[in-house]
């Protein structure tokens, strides 16, 4: 189970619940809720298709504990759309997933194409932004059919698409955006402040939606998501893996979180960095004691409050023999 957590400032971090622990946490984690969290590890984030630019990733443990707490502001959506030009000119790092907002100005018919021997639905789109820049988009699988059906129902109205955690594809030096397997979220005309602002900035030309022929892109030419991952994901040596475990020994107490039980969803948390603590004399990796079992009955055991005793008492033995 994969999640993206965002704090009260909008900063985000990737979080993971491993397969063997999903049944333990699936009923405790829901998109839009605020949670207090303790007892989890932090590891280095690496590889392609990373949902955030944070250098670390949170991993849940069997001893991780969650509880409800005060909700974060509702306007913390975590949405951070990038400029079309930054995708097209190559300045966006393709290792990271990105958010995009655009008006659909062109759409193809749904195709059924064979990818690695399996039939998959494909829908080609063209988006424009407030500057009338254009960006090709390709949606795959259920997203392709769902968006196509929604377009048919909306008729002549402007259709704004919001793609979250989209993948930048490069084919013959041309860049486009598509949904990433089992990660992305696609919404049409969602009720978001960012979308309303975007609509107000669009050119006032009442451009009609055009139906065009499908455009071939990389995935139909044999470059699959699987190949992308295994070919382009950076490798690590055993020494690198051991070095990254230094971060996994650090426990942090999180004040609030909004989490998601779906790979496509986003979530939020509020927390403080251990770097903000003035006391570094006793790190969480060195502290003594069992993991927190009941979050309501425990005292704060973070590295911010756990310090060495400032007073040492020495009892001397007196020799009465002379």
pTM comes to 0.67
Q: What is the mean pLDDT of residues 230-236?
A: 44
Tokens representing 41 are 């590890």
**Predicted confidence (pLDDT) at residue 311 exceeds the cutoff of 80:** no
For residue range 255-279, what is the model confidence (pLDDT) as tens digits?
Answer: 333 333 333 333 334 333 333 434 3
CA–CA separation, 269 and 12 (whole Å)? 8
Summary mean pLDDT of the chain: 74
- What is the location of CATH 2.40.50.140 in the chain? 84-232
CA–CA separation, 53 and 14 (whole Å)? 9
CA–CA separation, 129 and 99 (whole Å)? 13
CA–CA separation, 21 and 92 (whole Å)? 34
> What pLDDT, on a 0 to 100 scale, did the predictor assign at position 216?
58
CA–CA separation, 126 and 105 (whole Å)? 6
Q: Identify the band that residue 130 occupies on the pLDDT scale cut at 50, 70 and 90.
A: very high
> What pLDDT, on a 0 to 100 scale, did the predictor assign at position 133?
95
Residue 69 phi/psi, 5-degree rounding, is -155, -175
Q: Identify the band that residue 125 occupies on the pLDDT scale cut at 50, 70 and 90.
A: very high
> What pLDDT, on a 0 to 100 scale, did the predictor assign at position 292?
56
- CA distances (Å), 205 to each of 130, 132, 158, in order? 12, 11, 11
**Predicted confidence (pLDDT) at residue 281 exceeds the cutoff of 60:** no
Q: Give CA angle at 97 (250, 120), nearest 5°.
A: 125
> What pLDDT, on a 0 to 100 scale, did the predictor assign at position 190?
92
> What pLDDT, on a 0 to 100 scale, did the predictor assign at position 3?
87
Q: Identify the band that residue 116 occupies on the pLDDT scale cut at 50, 70 and 90.
A: confident
> What pLDDT, on a 0 to 100 scale, did the predictor assign at position 48?
86
Asked whether 152 and 131 are in contact (CB, 8 A), the reply is: no
Q: Which CATH number, 3.30.310, 2.40.50, 2.50.20, 1.10.260, labels domain 2-75+238-286?
A: 2.40.50
Give the CA diameter of the chain. Answer: 107
Asked whether 2 and 19 are in contact (CB, 8 A), the reply is: no
Name the residue with higher pLDDT: 271 or 132: 132
β partners of residue 170: 175
CA–CA separation, 294 and 9 (whole Å)? 28
For residue range 137-179, what is the model confidence (pLDDT) as tens digits?
Answer: 999 999 999 999 988 887 667 899 999 999 999 988 889 999 9
- Contacts of residues 235-242 at CB distance under 8 Å and 24 or more positions apart, as own/partner, are 236/46
CA–CA separation, 285 and 306 (whole Å)? 11
Q: Is 69 exposed, middle or buried (0-12, 13-18, 19+ CB in 10 A)?
A: middle
Locus of tokens 């570094």: 280
Tokens representing 32 are 């839009």
Asked whether 302 and 285 are in contact (CB, 8 A), the reply is: no
**135: closest CA among 88, 191, 71?**
88
For the chain, give the percent of residues with pLDDT over 70. 66
**Predicted confidence (pLDDT) at residue 291 exceeds the cutoff of 90:** no
User: CB neighbours of 221 closer than 8 A, spacing ≥ 6?
Assistant: 171
Statement: 84-232 belongs to CATH 2.40.50.140:
yes
> What pLDDT, on a 0 to 100 scale, did the predictor assign at position 111?
92
> What pLDDT, on a 0 to 100 scale, did the predictor assign at position 318?
54
Name the residue with higher pLDDT: 80 or 34: 80
Asked whether 45 and 85 are in contact (CB, 8 A), the reply is: no
- CA distances (Å), 47 to each of 15, 42, 177, 195, in order? 15, 16, 19, 31
């Amino acid at each position: 189970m994969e999640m993206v957590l965002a704090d009260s400032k909008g900063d985000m971090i990737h979080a993971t619940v491993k397969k063997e622990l999903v049944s333990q946490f699936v009923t405790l984690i829901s998109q839009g809720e605020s949670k207090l969290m303790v007892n989890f590890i932090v590891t280095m984030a690496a590889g392609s298709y990373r949902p955030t630019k944070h250098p670390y990733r949170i991993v849940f443990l069997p001893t991780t504990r969650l509880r409800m707490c005060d909700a974060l502001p509702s306007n913390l959506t975590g949405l951070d759309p990038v400029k079309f030009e930054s995708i097209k000119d190559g300045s966006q790092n393709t290792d990271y997933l990105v958010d995009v907002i655009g008006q659909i100005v062109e759409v193809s018919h749904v195709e059924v194409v064979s990818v690695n021997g399996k039939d998959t639905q494909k829908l080609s789109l063209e988006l424009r932004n407030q500057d009338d820049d254009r960006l090709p988009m390709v949606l795959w699988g259920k997203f392709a059919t769902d968006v196509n059906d929604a377009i048919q129902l909306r008729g002549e109205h402007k259709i704004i698409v919001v793609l979250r955690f989209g993948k930048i594809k490069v084919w013959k030096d041309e860049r486009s955006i598509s949904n990433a397997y089992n990660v992305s979220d696609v919404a049409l005309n969602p009720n978001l402040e960012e979308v309303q602002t975007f609509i107000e900035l669009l050119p006032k030309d009442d451009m009609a939606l055009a139906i065009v022929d499908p455009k071939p892109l990389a995935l139909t030419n044999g470059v699959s998501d699987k190949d992308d991952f295994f070919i382009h994901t950076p490798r690590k040596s055993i020494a690198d893996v051991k070095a990254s475990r230094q971060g996994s020994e650090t426990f942090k107490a999180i004040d609030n979180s909004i989490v998601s039980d779906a790979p496509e969803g986003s979530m939020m948390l509020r927390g403080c960095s251990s770097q903000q603590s003035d006391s570094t004399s006793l790190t969480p990796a060195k502290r003594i004691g069992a993991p927190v079992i009941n979050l309501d009955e425990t005292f704060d055991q973070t590295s911010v409050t756990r310090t060495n005793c400032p007073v040492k008492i020495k009892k001397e033995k007196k020799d009465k023999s002379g």
